[in-house]
Amino acid sequence: MLNREVGAEAMPSGSLTEISELTDGEIFQIFDRASHFRSMEEDGQRFTSSLDSAVVATLFFEGSTRTRLSFTMAGERLGAKVIDLAVIASSVSKGESLKDTCNTVAYSGADAIVVRHQSEGAPRMVSQWTGLPVINGGDGCHEHPTQALSDAYSLVCRFGSVEALANRRVAIVGDILHSRVARSLCSLLPRLGMEVVLVGPHALMVPRASALSAEVSYELDEVLSEVDVVYLLRIQRERIHGAAGVDGSSYRRRFQLDQRRLSEMRPDGLVMHPGPVNHGVELGVTLPDERSLISEQVRNGVLIRMAVFERAFGLDVKGGAVV
C-alpha cells in the first residue's frame, strides 16, 4: 500500500489536490462509500445529513457544468450548505488576488473549499493559505482527481469489482498534453491493475509518457482491437497557443471514434468521455447504451464526490453508518 505523500508544507487533513495524496485504502474506502450511496439511491432511500450545518464554498475560476453541478449536488445531498462564488461578479474582477479571495471565503465561515483554477498547483496553495480542506476541481493541465475517481469507479461498477480491472487496457485518446484528467487517470488506473496507453498526435502528446506509467501510440487504429476501454478527450483549444499539427480534418481522420472504429473494437469494449463531448470531432457515432459509460460517469461523479466530502470532513464511516 502506498503512503500518503504531501509537499514540504503539509496540507490540512482531508484535502485532495492530486491522486498521489490518497492511500490505496482511502481509494477503496471512497469506492465502498460511493457504493453505499448508490444502493441508497437505487432503493429510493433518503441520504443521511452527515454534513448538516457544514458550509462548502465552490470557487470556479474556469467554466464548468458537470463538475460544478456534481459538487453542489453532492454537498447538498449530505446536508451541507453549498455556496457558489460567482467569480466573474466577485472582487476578482477588480484585481483581488487568489490568496485574498480565498482567505475572505475562509474568514466568512466556510468549512471546506472546492477550487477550479487555470494555474497548476492553485488548490494546494489555497489549502495552505486557508488551513481548510480543499478539493481540487481541476487545476490547469495538472490534475482532476475526483473525475479520475469517478471514472475508475464507473469501471468497477461495470466490471463488477476492483479485482476485475486487473490487466485490462484503457486507451486515452486525444489532447493528452493539456488533459488534467489524463494525468489523474495515469496516476490512478495502474494502481488498480489497469494498463494505460496514451493515443494522440505528436503535437498533443506529453513529452515523457513513461513518467505517467503509460504506453504511447500515435494512431488509434493500432490499438483499437487491443483495449477494453476507449476514453475520448476533446481538444482543449482554449489551452493551445500556436500548437502545430492540430488540423481538424486530419484529427478526425486519425482519431475520431466513428462507426468503423466502433465495429473494430472488442465486442464488449466500452467508451468513456469526461465531457463536454464535441460531437463530430472526437466522437462521430451514436453509441449503443451498452457500449457507453458516459452517463454513468456523470451519475457516479455525484456519488464519488459525496464520499470525498465525507473524507474532507474527517467523518469516521463504519459500514453504512457515520459514527
Q: Are 184 and 148 in contact (CB under 8 A)?
A: yes
Q: Which amino acid belongs to residue 285?
A: V
pLDDT at 176: 96
Which pLDDT score is estimated for 248? 83
Confidence class for position 7, pLDDT limits 50, 70, 90: very low
The predicted pLDDT at position 9 comes to 52
Predicted confidence (pLDDT) at residue 287 exceeds the cutoff of 90: yes
**For residues 198-205, average pLDDT:** 94
229: pLDDT strictly greater than 60: yes
In this prediction, residue 213 carries a pLDDT of 87
What value does the mean pLDDT take over residues 14-35? 97
Range 65-77 burial, b when 16+ CB lie within 10 A, else e: ebbbebbbbbbeb
pLDDT digits (tens, 9 = 90+) for 304-323: 999 999 999 998 765 555 65
Its pTM stands at 0.92
Per the listing, cell 475517481 goes with 149
Q: Looking at the predicted structure, is the pLDDT value of residue 12 above 90?
A: no
Structure-model confidence comparison of residues 48 and 158, the more confident one: 158
Domains belonging to the chain, first-starting first, are 19-143+299-314 (3.40.50.1370), 145-293 (3.40.50.1370)
DSSP 202-224: GGGS-TTGGGGT-EEES-GGGTG
Q: Is the pLDDT of residue 227 over 70?
A: yes
DSSP codes, 131-170: -S-EEEEEETTTB-HHHHHHHHHHHHHHHSSSGGGTT-EE
pLDDT of residue 217: 97
- Give the pLDDT band of residue 210 (cuts 50, 70, 90): confident
pLDDT score at 321 = 59
DSSP element (H, E) containing 311: helix 294-312
Of all helices (H) and strands (E), which one includes residue 122? Answer: helix 122-130
pLDDT score of 95: 80
State the alpha helices, DSSP H only, in 189-273. Answer: 248-255, 259-264
- Confidence category of residue 294, pLDDT binned at 50, 70, 90: very high
11 — pLDDT class (breaks 50, 70, 90): low
pLDDT exceeds 80 at position 238: no
CA atoms within 13 Å, Cβ hemisphere of 275: 19
Pair type for strands 317-318 and 321-322: antiparallel
Strands (DSSP E) contained in the chain are: 55-60, 81-85, 112-117, 134-139, 169-173, 195-199, 215-217, 229-232, 270-272, 317-318, 321-322
Mean predicted confidence (pLDDT) in 94-99: 85
CA atoms of 187 and 198, how far apart (whole Å) = 13
**Is 131 within 8 Å of 12 (Cβ atoms)?**
yes
Whole-number Å distance between alpha carbons of 189 and 195 = 7
pLDDT band at 63 (very low <50, low <70, confident <90, very high): confident
Mean pLDDT for all residues in the chain: 91
